[in-house]
Structure 1
Amino acid sequence: MGWFTVFNKKEMPAAASEPQHALTPVVAEPKVDHAQLNGASVHDSQGIFLIYSYLQQDFEQRGYNDALISPDEGYKNDNIRLIKYDLEILIHQVKTYHESLMKDMEFHIHSRGRAGLIDLVDELRIKQTDLQAHMTKVQEFEQSLASDRGLCERAVLAYKRGFMKGLASITQAYLLTRKF
Protein backbone atom coordinates (compact mmCIF):
# COMPACT_ATOMS: atom_id res chain seq x y z
CA MET A 1 0.00 0.00 0.00
CA GLY A 2 1.45 3.37 -1.01
CA TRP A 3 1.38 6.68 0.81
CA PHE A 4 -1.40 8.10 -1.31
CA THR A 5 -3.74 5.16 -0.75
CA VAL A 6 -3.54 5.74 3.00
CA PHE A 7 -4.79 9.30 2.55
CA ASN A 8 -7.47 8.37 0.04
CA LYS A 9 -9.20 5.93 2.37
CA LYS A 10 -12.60 7.09 3.50
CA GLU A 11 -13.23 6.60 7.18
CA MET A 12 -16.35 4.78 8.24
CA PRO A 13 -18.56 6.80 10.57
CA ALA A 14 -18.40 5.63 14.18
CA ALA A 15 -22.13 4.94 14.25
CA ALA A 16 -21.88 2.59 11.26
CA SER A 17 -19.17 0.48 12.86
CA GLU A 18 -21.12 -0.06 16.08
CA PRO A 19 -23.84 -2.74 15.96
CA GLN A 20 -27.37 -1.53 16.65
CA HIS A 21 -29.71 -3.60 18.76
CA ALA A 22 -32.91 -4.58 17.02
CA LEU A 23 -35.14 -2.92 19.62
CA THR A 24 -33.04 0.20 20.15
CA PRO A 25 -34.46 3.17 18.22
CA VAL A 26 -31.99 5.43 16.48
CA VAL A 27 -32.56 8.96 17.73
CA ALA A 28 -30.98 11.89 15.97
CA GLU A 29 -29.66 14.65 18.18
CA PRO A 30 -31.58 17.91 17.92
CA LYS A 31 -30.02 20.40 15.57
CA VAL A 32 -29.18 23.56 17.47
CA ASP A 33 -28.05 26.63 15.59
CA HIS A 34 -25.53 27.99 18.06
CA ALA A 35 -25.30 31.27 16.15
CA GLN A 36 -28.96 31.92 17.01
CA LEU A 37 -28.60 31.19 20.73
CA ASN A 38 -26.32 34.09 21.63
CA GLY A 39 -24.47 32.26 24.39
CA ALA A 40 -27.38 30.29 25.83
CA SER A 41 -26.84 28.04 28.83
CA VAL A 42 -26.60 24.27 29.13
CA HIS A 43 -30.26 23.64 28.28
CA ASP A 44 -30.10 25.14 24.79
CA SER A 45 -32.96 23.14 23.31
CA GLN A 46 -35.04 22.73 26.44
CA GLY A 47 -36.90 24.78 28.99
CA ILE A 48 -37.28 28.49 28.47
CA PHE A 49 -35.34 28.33 25.21
CA LEU A 50 -38.28 26.50 23.61
CA ILE A 51 -40.45 29.52 24.39
CA TYR A 52 -37.89 31.91 22.95
CA SER A 53 -37.60 29.73 19.86
CA TYR A 54 -41.38 29.73 19.42
CA LEU A 55 -41.59 33.51 19.79
CA GLN A 56 -38.81 34.01 17.23
CA GLN A 57 -40.76 32.28 14.48
CA ASP A 58 -41.65 34.33 11.43
CA PHE A 59 -45.27 35.02 12.36
CA GLU A 60 -45.40 37.84 9.81
CA GLN A 61 -44.77 35.43 6.94
CA ARG A 62 -47.24 33.01 8.44
CA GLY A 63 -49.91 35.75 8.58
CA TYR A 64 -49.14 36.78 5.00
CA ASN A 65 -49.51 33.21 3.74
CA ASP A 66 -52.72 32.72 5.72
CA ALA A 67 -54.20 35.87 4.16
CA LEU A 68 -53.44 34.51 0.71
CA ILE A 69 -55.15 31.23 1.60
CA SER A 70 -58.24 32.73 3.20
CA PRO A 71 -58.55 36.52 3.47
CA ASP A 72 -61.23 36.33 6.13
CA GLU A 73 -61.30 38.16 9.47
CA GLY A 74 -62.66 35.09 11.27
CA TYR A 75 -59.82 32.96 9.88
CA LYS A 76 -57.31 35.55 11.09
CA ASN A 77 -58.84 35.65 14.58
CA ASP A 78 -58.90 31.86 14.81
CA ASN A 79 -55.22 31.68 13.87
CA ILE A 80 -54.34 34.32 16.45
CA ARG A 81 -56.14 32.26 19.08
CA LEU A 82 -54.21 29.18 17.92
CA ILE A 83 -50.91 31.05 18.26
CA LYS A 84 -51.84 31.96 21.84
CA TYR A 85 -53.03 28.44 22.67
CA ASP A 86 -49.84 26.91 21.26
CA LEU A 87 -47.80 29.30 23.37
CA GLU A 88 -49.89 28.47 26.43
CA ILE A 89 -49.31 24.75 25.88
CA LEU A 90 -45.60 25.38 25.48
CA ILE A 91 -45.47 27.44 28.67
CA HIS A 92 -47.19 24.63 30.60
CA GLN A 93 -44.74 22.09 29.18
CA VAL A 94 -41.77 24.24 30.15
CA LYS A 95 -43.18 24.83 33.65
CA THR A 96 -43.58 21.08 34.12
CA TYR A 97 -40.06 20.47 32.85
CA HIS A 98 -38.61 23.14 35.17
CA GLU A 99 -40.51 21.84 38.21
CA SER A 100 -39.27 18.31 37.56
CA LEU A 101 -35.72 19.54 37.03
CA MET A 102 -35.91 21.53 40.27
CA LYS A 103 -36.97 18.41 42.21
CA ASP A 104 -34.10 16.43 40.69
CA MET A 105 -31.68 19.21 41.49
CA GLU A 106 -32.85 19.45 45.12
CA PHE A 107 -32.43 15.69 45.51
CA HIS A 108 -28.89 15.85 44.15
CA ILE A 109 -28.02 18.84 46.34
CA HIS A 110 -29.16 17.01 49.47
CA SER A 111 -27.65 13.63 48.63
CA ARG A 112 -24.32 15.06 47.45
CA GLY A 113 -24.24 17.33 50.49
CA ARG A 114 -24.60 14.28 52.75
CA ALA A 115 -21.77 12.65 50.82
CA GLY A 116 -19.54 15.65 51.51
CA LEU A 117 -19.17 16.82 47.90
CA ILE A 118 -19.10 20.51 48.79
CA ASP A 119 -17.82 21.84 45.45
CA LEU A 120 -20.41 19.86 43.52
CA VAL A 121 -23.19 21.10 45.82
CA ASP A 122 -22.03 24.69 45.32
CA GLU A 123 -22.07 24.17 41.56
CA LEU A 124 -25.56 22.69 41.76
CA ARG A 125 -26.77 25.66 43.80
CA ILE A 126 -25.51 28.04 41.13
CA LYS A 127 -27.43 26.04 38.52
CA GLN A 128 -30.44 26.07 40.83
CA THR A 129 -30.43 29.88 41.00
CA ASP A 130 -30.26 29.98 37.19
CA LEU A 131 -33.21 27.59 37.03
CA GLN A 132 -35.17 29.71 39.51
CA ALA A 133 -34.54 32.76 37.33
CA HIS A 134 -35.82 30.83 34.30
CA MET A 135 -38.90 29.76 36.23
CA THR A 136 -39.58 33.38 37.14
CA LYS A 137 -39.20 34.40 33.51
CA VAL A 138 -41.62 31.67 32.40
CA GLN A 139 -44.11 32.99 34.95
CA GLU A 140 -43.70 36.45 33.39
CA PHE A 141 -44.40 34.93 29.96
CA GLU A 142 -47.53 33.33 31.34
CA GLN A 143 -48.71 36.65 32.79
CA SER A 144 -47.90 38.55 29.61
CA LEU A 145 -49.84 36.00 27.58
CA ALA A 146 -52.86 36.41 29.85
CA SER A 147 -52.73 40.21 29.55
CA ASP A 148 -51.75 40.34 25.83
CA ARG A 149 -48.61 42.31 26.58
CA GLY A 150 -44.85 41.92 26.29
CA LEU A 151 -43.02 39.46 24.09
CA CYS A 152 -46.10 37.30 23.67
CA GLU A 153 -47.89 40.22 22.06
CA ARG A 154 -45.03 40.46 19.54
CA ALA A 155 -46.09 37.19 17.92
CA VAL A 156 -49.68 38.36 17.56
CA LEU A 157 -48.68 41.78 16.19
CA ALA A 158 -46.32 40.20 13.67
CA TYR A 159 -49.06 37.81 12.54
CA LYS A 160 -51.58 40.66 12.15
CA ARG A 161 -49.03 42.71 10.23
CA GLY A 162 -48.34 39.82 7.85
CA PHE A 163 -52.04 39.18 7.40
CA MET A 164 -52.62 42.84 6.48
CA LYS A 165 -49.73 42.70 4.01
CA GLY A 166 -51.33 39.62 2.47
CA LEU A 167 -54.65 41.40 2.13
CA ALA A 168 -52.94 44.39 0.53
CA SER A 169 -51.07 42.08 -1.83
CA ILE A 170 -54.33 40.48 -2.97
CA THR A 171 -55.86 43.88 -3.63
CA GLN A 172 -52.83 45.08 -5.53
CA ALA A 173 -52.64 41.92 -7.62
CA TYR A 174 -56.30 41.79 -8.58
CA LEU A 175 -57.68 45.31 -8.58
CA LEU A 176 -54.93 47.90 -8.73
CA THR A 177 -53.19 46.32 -11.72
CA ARG A 178 -56.32 46.26 -13.88
CA LYS A 179 -56.88 48.95 -16.42
CA PHE A 180 -60.32 50.47 -16.78
Structure 2
Amino acid sequence: MGWFTVFKRKKDAVLPTAAAVQQAADTADTKVDTKRLNGASVHDGQGIFLIYNYLQQDFEEKGYHDALTSPDEGYKNDNIRLIRYDLEILIHQVKTYHASLMKDLEFHIHSRSRAGLIDLVDELKIKQTDLLAHIDKVRELEDSLQTNSGLCERAILAYKRGFMKGMASITHAHLLTKKF
Protein backbone atom coordinates (compact mmCIF):
# COMPACT_ATOMS: atom_id res chain seq x y z
CA MET A 1 0.00 0.00 0.00
CA GLY A 2 2.88 2.38 0.77
CA TRP A 3 4.40 2.00 -2.69
CA PHE A 4 1.22 3.04 -4.42
CA THR A 5 0.95 6.28 -2.44
CA VAL A 6 4.55 7.17 -3.31
CA PHE A 7 3.86 6.75 -7.01
CA LYS A 8 0.58 8.64 -6.72
CA ARG A 9 2.30 11.64 -5.12
CA LYS A 10 4.85 11.83 -7.90
CA LYS A 11 2.08 11.66 -10.50
CA ASP A 12 0.10 14.44 -8.82
CA ALA A 13 3.08 16.80 -8.61
CA VAL A 14 2.52 19.87 -10.76
CA LEU A 15 5.36 20.74 -13.08
CA PRO A 16 5.64 24.29 -14.43
CA THR A 17 4.52 24.67 -18.00
CA ALA A 18 6.55 26.36 -20.68
CA ALA A 19 4.11 29.29 -20.58
CA ALA A 20 4.65 29.74 -16.83
CA VAL A 21 8.42 29.68 -17.27
CA GLN A 22 8.18 32.27 -20.06
CA GLN A 23 5.91 34.49 -17.95
CA ALA A 24 8.40 34.36 -15.05
CA ALA A 25 11.22 35.29 -17.43
CA ASP A 26 9.18 38.20 -18.82
CA THR A 27 8.47 39.41 -15.29
CA ALA A 28 12.20 39.27 -14.45
CA ASP A 29 13.00 41.23 -17.63
CA THR A 30 10.38 43.84 -16.69
CA LYS A 31 11.94 44.25 -13.24
CA VAL A 32 15.35 44.84 -14.77
CA ASP A 33 13.94 47.37 -17.23
CA THR A 34 12.17 49.32 -14.49
CA LYS A 35 15.44 49.68 -12.58
CA ARG A 36 17.03 51.48 -15.49
CA LEU A 37 16.18 54.98 -16.59
CA ASN A 38 18.06 56.23 -19.67
CA GLY A 39 21.09 54.11 -18.80
CA ALA A 40 21.27 55.23 -15.16
CA SER A 41 20.22 52.63 -12.62
CA VAL A 42 18.06 53.55 -9.68
CA HIS A 43 19.70 52.91 -6.31
CA ASP A 44 19.41 49.35 -5.10
CA GLY A 45 19.14 50.11 -1.41
CA GLN A 46 22.85 49.54 -0.86
CA GLY A 47 25.69 51.87 -0.01
CA ILE A 48 24.83 55.32 1.20
CA PHE A 49 21.14 54.56 0.88
CA LEU A 50 21.42 52.18 3.84
CA ILE A 51 22.58 55.12 5.94
CA TYR A 52 19.78 57.34 4.65
CA ASN A 53 17.21 54.65 5.40
CA TYR A 54 18.58 54.30 8.92
CA LEU A 55 18.49 58.05 9.51
CA GLN A 56 14.91 58.27 8.25
CA GLN A 57 13.61 55.86 10.88
CA ASP A 58 11.06 57.21 13.31
CA PHE A 59 13.40 57.72 16.26
CA GLU A 60 10.85 59.94 17.96
CA GLU A 61 8.39 57.05 18.24
CA LYS A 62 11.20 54.78 19.44
CA GLY A 63 12.10 57.28 22.14
CA TYR A 64 8.47 57.62 23.17
CA HIS A 65 8.05 53.86 23.59
CA ASP A 66 11.39 53.56 25.38
CA ALA A 67 10.26 56.19 27.88
CA LEU A 68 7.06 54.26 28.52
CA THR A 69 9.17 51.14 29.08
CA SER A 70 11.71 52.74 31.40
CA PRO A 71 11.62 56.51 32.04
CA ASP A 72 15.17 56.59 33.31
CA GLU A 73 17.85 59.06 32.22
CA GLY A 74 20.50 56.33 32.14
CA TYR A 75 18.28 54.19 29.90
CA LYS A 76 17.81 57.15 27.55
CA ASN A 77 21.56 57.84 27.40
CA ASP A 78 22.32 54.17 26.73
CA ASN A 79 19.84 54.11 23.85
CA ILE A 80 21.33 57.29 22.39
CA ARG A 81 24.76 55.67 22.53
CA LEU A 82 23.30 52.59 20.79
CA ILE A 83 21.89 54.79 18.01
CA ARG A 84 25.32 56.31 17.51
CA TYR A 85 27.08 52.92 17.60
CA ASP A 86 24.60 51.42 15.13
CA LEU A 87 25.16 54.36 12.81
CA GLU A 88 28.93 54.00 13.17
CA ILE A 89 28.71 50.28 12.31
CA LEU A 90 26.53 51.09 9.32
CA ILE A 91 28.99 53.72 8.09
CA HIS A 92 31.87 51.22 8.32
CA GLN A 93 29.77 48.64 6.48
CA VAL A 94 28.97 51.13 3.70
CA LYS A 95 32.62 52.19 3.42
CA THR A 96 33.61 48.55 2.98
CA TYR A 97 30.87 48.08 0.38
CA HIS A 98 32.00 51.20 -1.51
CA ALA A 99 35.66 50.10 -1.48
CA SER A 100 34.73 46.72 -2.91
CA LEU A 101 32.48 48.28 -5.53
CA MET A 102 35.24 50.71 -6.52
CA LYS A 103 37.65 47.80 -7.07
CA ASP A 104 35.06 46.05 -9.24
CA LEU A 105 34.45 49.22 -11.26
CA GLU A 106 38.17 49.78 -11.80
CA PHE A 107 38.62 46.19 -12.96
CA HIS A 108 35.73 46.45 -15.41
CA ILE A 109 36.91 49.83 -16.70
CA HIS A 110 40.40 48.46 -17.42
CA SER A 111 39.29 45.17 -18.93
CA ARG A 112 36.52 46.71 -21.07
CA SER A 113 38.80 49.48 -22.30
CA ARG A 114 41.32 46.82 -23.40
CA ALA A 115 38.48 45.11 -25.26
CA GLY A 116 37.60 48.37 -27.04
CA LEU A 117 34.16 48.83 -25.49
CA ILE A 118 34.34 52.63 -25.40
CA ASP A 119 30.65 53.36 -24.67
CA LEU A 120 30.56 50.81 -21.87
CA VAL A 121 33.75 52.27 -20.38
CA ASP A 122 32.19 55.75 -20.48
CA GLU A 123 29.11 54.45 -18.63
CA LEU A 124 31.35 52.78 -16.05
CA LYS A 125 33.28 56.02 -15.55
CA ILE A 126 30.01 57.85 -14.91
CA LYS A 127 29.15 55.21 -12.30
CA GLN A 128 32.61 55.66 -10.82
CA THR A 129 32.15 59.43 -10.45
CA ASP A 130 28.77 58.81 -8.81
CA LEU A 131 30.41 56.35 -6.44
CA LEU A 132 33.15 58.85 -5.60
CA ALA A 133 30.45 61.42 -4.77
CA HIS A 134 28.75 58.86 -2.49
CA ILE A 135 32.08 58.10 -0.80
CA ASP A 136 32.56 61.82 -0.12
CA LYS A 137 29.02 62.04 1.30
CA VAL A 138 29.69 59.08 3.60
CA ARG A 139 32.84 60.85 4.84
CA GLU A 140 30.72 63.93 5.58
CA LEU A 141 28.22 61.80 7.48
CA GLU A 142 31.03 60.18 9.43
CA ASP A 143 32.43 63.61 10.31
CA SER A 144 28.99 64.83 11.38
CA LEU A 145 28.66 61.77 13.62
CA GLN A 146 31.98 62.60 15.29
CA THR A 147 31.06 66.28 15.77
CA ASN A 148 27.41 65.70 16.79
CA SER A 149 26.01 67.79 13.96
CA GLY A 150 24.10 67.43 10.72
CA LEU A 151 21.88 64.53 9.77
CA CYS A 152 23.29 62.25 12.45
CA GLU A 153 22.27 64.66 15.17
CA ARG A 154 18.74 64.71 13.74
CA ALA A 155 18.21 61.08 14.76
CA ILE A 156 19.42 61.76 18.29
CA LEU A 157 17.30 64.90 18.66
CA ALA A 158 14.22 63.03 17.43
CA TYR A 159 14.88 60.24 19.94
CA LYS A 160 15.30 62.73 22.81
CA ARG A 161 12.10 64.53 21.82
CA GLY A 162 10.17 61.26 21.72
CA PHE A 163 11.60 60.22 25.08
CA MET A 164 10.53 63.54 26.63
CA LYS A 165 7.04 63.13 25.15
CA GLY A 166 6.85 59.67 26.66
CA MET A 167 7.86 60.96 30.08
CA ALA A 168 5.34 63.78 29.81
CA SER A 169 2.67 61.25 28.86
CA ILE A 170 3.42 59.18 31.94
CA THR A 171 3.21 62.25 34.16
CA HIS A 172 -0.02 63.35 32.54
CA ALA A 173 -1.60 59.91 32.87
CA HIS A 174 -0.56 59.35 36.50
CA LEU A 175 -0.60 62.77 38.17
CA LEU A 176 -2.35 65.43 36.14
CA THR A 177 -5.56 63.44 35.72
CA LYS A 178 -5.96 62.88 39.49
CA LYS A 179 -8.29 65.14 41.42
CA PHE A 180 -7.23 66.49 44.79
Structure-2-length-normalised TM-score: 0.78
Residue by residue over 1:127-165, the C-alpha shift from the partner in whole angstroms, topping out at 9 and shown as x without a partner, is: 000000000000001000000000000000000000000
Instruction: Count how many residue pairs are aligned between Structure 1 and Structure 2.
Output: 146
- Residue 104 of structure 2 corresponds to residue 97 of structure 1: no
**% identical aligned pairs:** 79
Could you say which structure has the larger radius of gyration? Answer: 2
Q: How large is the Cα RMSD of the aligned pairs?
A: 1.8
- Residue 119 of structure 2 corresponds to residue 119 of structure 1: yes
Match of 2:138 in 1: 138
Trace 1:1-180 onto structure 2 (pairs within 5 A).
42-180=42-180
Gaps of 5+ in 2: 1-14, 22-39
Deviation at 1:41, TM superposition (A): 5.1
> How many angstroms apart in 2 are the aligned matches of 1:60 and 1:168?
14
Change (3 A) 1:63 1:41: farther
Q: Match of 2:100, SS?
A: helix
Structure-1-length-normalised TM-score: 0.78
Deviation at 1:44, TM superposition (A): 2.7
> How many angstroms apart in 2 are the aligned matches of 1:43 and 1:163?
33
Match of 1:36 in 2: none
Q: Which runs of 4+ in 1 moved over 4 A?
A: none
Deviation at 1:79, TM superposition (A): 0.1
Residue by residue over 1:5-51, the C-alpha shift from the partner in whole angstroms, topping out at 9 and shown as x without a partner, is: xxxxxxx999xx67xxxxxxxxxxxxxxxxxxxxx953331000000
Deviation at 1:170, TM superposition (A): 0.3
Residue type of the partner of 1:61?
E
Change (3 A) 1:172 1:54: same
